[in-house]
A and B are shown apart, each in its own frame.
Chain A
Amino acid sequence: GQNIDQPTEMTATEGAIVQINCTYQTSGFNGLFWYQQHAGEAPTFLSYNVLDGLEEKGRFSSFLSRSKGYSYLLLKELQMKDSASYLCASPHTNAGKSTFGDGTTLTVKP
């Protein structure tokens, strides 16, 4: 089965850096996704890691350690518009099934 854990809420200050952690236990590993979901909107893709290490995309970076079953999303130079829910997701070995974490609600304060 799939089990994904991430913190429920985080708060950070505009301009700061925040790290959102995700731990997972899966019966078969096919990489790890991060999605962003603003209130009242659909989730949108942020990143996909399948190999260990850090992948950087502008202000957002995602890290994966397969041996530790651990990933994090790093957001730099936080902006107010980064206030959203961040979902960690693991695709299953059976095509068509991804397990989503319950999401981390990030609030960015001035």
Chain B
Amino acid sequence: AQSVTQPDIHITVSEGASLELRCNYSYGATPYLFWYVQSPGQGLQLLLKYFSGDTLVQGIKGFEAEFKRSQSSFNLRKPSVHWSDAAEYFCAVVLTGGGNKLTFGTGTQLKVEL
């Protein structure tokens, strides 16, 4: 079945440390890929997206993500985490063969220790 997986439910990092959140998809073709963030009491905000071209994409708030076709992955990274980055992060895909439906992973809750 076509799906998007975020293997880590919770991650805790120290402020200033680097961060990598994992996302894998199961799909025959390259989907459109997204990362969204949901801060406490806030709506979902788009961090970055990948449609085609350069496999390393830059987003807002200093985040980046790299699409690796061979690994069916689209991991989110940040070199130095700030306390304000504590939030829930969702990877999402558009399965272009599935009527362009936007499908989300189960999310990763990020905790930042000061």
Partners in one complex: no
